[in-house]
């Protein structure tokens, strides 16, 4: 297990809410995974899906979603609707030109409300 993946597992161990509900996806790459969607119900994202896939199928957000996870190489969350801050006033980290993308290396987190209802969303993990 790479250091990036170990950090993701440690971070997710403290994540109590379920990450994928009526809308959402979980994707796993070779170096980590991202769970994104409505935080209401669905599978607990602490266990990555199998088999691994570097890129996830897109979805349309139905609530006020967010994301959690991380990747030791690169992760990204792209949405069709720009949101500056989550429901707690924390920055979502999206670029300000369409398509709106938040990305990085290591831990990934976008709070509830970063994914707006009706937004088309794609998620990748390397």
Q: pLDDT, tens digit, for every residue of 39-92? A: 544 444 444 444 455 457 888 998 889 998 889 999 999 999 999 999 999 999
Give 24's pLDDT tier (boundaries 50, 70, 90). confident
CA distance 56 to 20: 13
The CA distances from residue 29 to 21, 56, 65, 76, 89, in Å, are 21, 9, 21, 12, 30
CA distance 82 to 114: 8
Domain ranges of the chain: 3-125
* 8 A C-beta contact, residue 121 and residue 62: no
Q: What pTM was computed for the model?
A: 0.74
Nearest by Cα to 79 from 125, 126, 36 = 36
């Amino acid at each position: 297990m790479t250091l990036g993946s170990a950090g993701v597992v440690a971070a997710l161990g403290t994540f109590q809410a379920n990450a994928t509900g009526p809308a959402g996806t979980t994707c796993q790459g070779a170096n980590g995974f991202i769970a994104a969607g409505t935080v209401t119900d669905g599978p607990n994202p602490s266990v990555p899906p199998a088999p691994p896939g570097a890129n996830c199928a897109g979805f349309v957000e139905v609530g006020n979603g967010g994301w959690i996870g991380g990747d030791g190489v690169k992760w990204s969350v792209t949405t069709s609707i720009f949101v500056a801050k989550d429901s707690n006033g924390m920055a979502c980290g999206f670029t300000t030109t369409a398509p709106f993308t938040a990305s990085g290396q290591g831990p990934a987190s976008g709070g509830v409300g970063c994914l707006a209802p009706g937004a088309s969303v794609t998620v990748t993990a390397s």
